[in-house]
Amino acid sequence: MLFWHVWCPNCRRPIDSRLWHICTGLGPKIAICPKCRTQVSTGRREWDDFSGARRGMYWFLTALYAFFFAALGVGVGHVLSLSAPSLGDGLPVVYGVRVFPGYAAGVLFALLVAVLQFYRLNRSRKRSAAGSSVGSAGIFNLQVNIQRKLGMLFVLALAAAGAPYVYREIAGMYAKVPKGAPAPSIQPPAAVPDEAPAVSAAADAVEKTPPVPDAAETPEAAPEEPTPADEPDVTNDDV
- Rounded distance, CA 127 to CA 145, Å? 18
Q: Are 17 and 3 in contact (CB under 8 A)?
A: yes
When pLDDT is averaged across residues 214-232 and rounded to a whole number, the result is 53
- Provide the CA 199 distance to its chain's centre, in angstroms: 53
Report domain extents, the chain. 3-173
pTM of the model: 0.67
Per-residue pLDDT tens over the stretch 64-99: 999 999 999 999 999 999 898 888 888 888 888 989
Q: E-strand spans in the chain?
A: 3-7, 14-19, 30-32, 39-41, 93-94, 97-98, 134-136
Mean pLDDT (whole number) for 119-123: 95
pLDDT classification of 168: cutoffs 50, 70, 90? confident
In the predicted structure, residue 219 carries a pLDDT above the cut 60: no
Mean per-residue pLDDT, 26-33: 94
Highest-pLDDT range among 10-24, 42-56, 86-100, 201-215: 42-56
